[in-house]
Structure 1
Amino acid sequence: MIGISCGKLEDLPALRDFAEVHSLGLELQEFAQPEILDGEWRELLHRYRQALAGFSGPISLHGPFVDLFSGSVDPRIAAVAMDRYRQSLEIAAELGAWLVNFHLNYNPLVDESSYRPRWLERQVGFWAALALEAQEMGIRIALENMWEPDPFLQVEVIQKVNHFYVGACLDIGHAYLYSRVPLQAWINVLEPVLIYAHLHNTTGVQDRHLPLTHGAIPMEPVLSRLVRCLNRPMLILEMPSLAEIQESFPVLQRILQRVSWPQ
């Protein structure tokens, strides 16, 4: 499956048209914003449902991530994250989405030997609990890398949760920007649990979500490896505008033509 990101409702009509012409899915991102979730989100949800009426492609949702720490040592902070993520699942269910994407938000700047193993332990308990609720709704959870320095954090959390409804999302821009582990190694490590991927390029200095044709990432080898993953993860062109998506789509198309990619 291939999809494109949609940041705002006002952009949806043109993005929907492009998605329908090319048989793509849509990742909706506006419900990740805290001002939306604390505002008139039900009215916005109603407007999205109207705008998506009759759309037959797969729909996914980007969950909230700003200042949310599912692995927090403070249980009250973790509870806030859990409330937000449950809200996302509710919205996803109303939209008929098959997946919600959440960030792990590991902090690599914490210089304490006990941080990583204790963070992992708390993450496993957190996501195992949410997986049961996601299963009841029929919605899968994809855990995305943000500042994680290596892919083993994601793999360990997901394998210990050991639930079909929890898998990995690889954001290739984040992995390139915040990690010294090569992207090919990220894909190799994540492949057994990889169900979703965000595609965009980067300058190598800022998380800019550039089109695939611009930036520091050598896209040809990375995408060629990614499209051959055994689980056939859903690939999302995650860029801020239709123009950048239109510029990037032929790059992905050329690589997909070389493999037997399901429509």
Structure 2
Amino acid sequence: MTVTLPVIGACLPVETIAEYRDWLFEKDRDLELQSFHKAEVLNGDWTPIADEAKRLLDGHKGRIGIHGPFWGFTINSLDPDVRRLVERRLMQGLDVCDYIKGTHMVVHSPLTAWDYNNSGNYADSWSPVLEATHDTMKAVVRRAEDLGVALVIENIDDVDPSRRRLLVESFQSDAVRLSVDTGHAHYAHGSNGAAPVDYFVKDAGALLEHVHLQDADGYADRHWGIGEGTIRWHAVFRAIAELPQKPRLVLELRDAAKIPSSMEFIAENGLGQ
């Protein structure tokens, strides 16, 4: 039986695409553009950046998306005025997706280690999270549905992956899916007692649309090259192989120059191509 190894893509700012263009095109690798998450970009004229991306990617057949805005807010703010600002910011991200024909946008999970440790400290700690998140996201989700964009909710400080899955399931929409960031999950495992990274993948199951691949030491959010940290990569890729779908697997490295060495590690270990 021949096993087809998953094709690995990357997260890149637009100004870096040219350097990795041949690599992206050789297998039509998935790509996440990381030039559209800052408020000053979204509030300004971002179309020249987007036009350059479209020019460089002309003829590319891989899946394309963006990392959505996240700095300075959470999608479950208890302040209704803040929720409207967050809604507007996420809509700006969807403007970019519409313009470049992107099909995913990363949204940060609102769940924290504090939430996890205090979940039993109140009579009902879950309903306020659901209500505030749905109020923030309801119009965003409707628009994402119309555009064919998957809003992928990425673990940040999450300890229990099932809570984020329940949050995603509560929308009952094909436009709301899960993302797993391997380094964030490993940080939660090493520093906050969460399960190992492959458990995050397994819990996401058929809802897993997107994976940020980065290595770490279990203490901090390193975004090291693959093989430089302590993540058990064989277990992670076995969990991915068991999924009924093929999520976007994109390297999210602090230094894009680590892409070749990361791919060398992945290929030599028979994990991907």
> Could you state the TM-score of these two structures normalised by the residue count of structure 2?
0.86
Asked whether the 8 Å contact 1:28–1:61 carries over to 2, the reply is yes
Structure 2 counterpart of 1:167: 177
Kindly, what percent of the aligned residue pairs are identical?
Answer: 24
1:74-223 matches, cutoff 5 A: 74-109=79-114, 111=118, 113=122, 114-179=124-189, 180-223=194-237
Q: 1:153 to 1:127 in 2, by over 3 A?
A: farther
Asked whether the 8 Å contact 1:16–1:26 carries over to 2, the reply is no
Secondary structure of 1:31 counterpart: coil
Moved >4 Å (runs of 4+)? none
Structure 1: segments with no counterpart, 5+ residues: 258-263
Q: CA deviation at 1:125?
A: 4.2
Q: CA deviation at 1:236?
A: 0.9
1:181-224 Cα distance to aligned partner (Å, 9 max, x none): 22232222111311111111012222120111111212121222
Secondary structure of 2:271 counterpart: helix
Q: CA deviation at 1:17?
A: 1.9
What code does the residue aligned with 1:207 have?
D
> Could you state the TM-score of these two structures normalised by the residue count of structure 1?
0.89
What code does the residue aligned with 1:80 have?
L
Asked whether the 8 Å contact 2:66–2:105 carries over to 1, the reply is yes
Asked whether the 8 Å contact 2:186–2:217 carries over to 1, the reply is no
Asked whether the 8 Å contact 2:112–2:159 carries over to 1, the reply is no
Asked whether the 8 Å contact 1:171–1:199 carries over to 2, the reply is yes
Q: Which moved more, 1:174-183 or 1:85-94?
A: 174-183
Q: Which moved more, 1:108-117 or 1:73-82?
A: 108-117
Asked whether the 8 Å contact 1:127–1:161 carries over to 2, the reply is no
Question: d(CA) in 1 for partners of 2:229 and 2:169?
Answer: 33
Q: Does 1:245 align with 2:250?
A: no
Structure 2: segments with no counterpart, 5+ residues: 1-6
Structure 2 counterpart of 1:17: 22
Q: Does 1:2 align with 2:38?
A: no
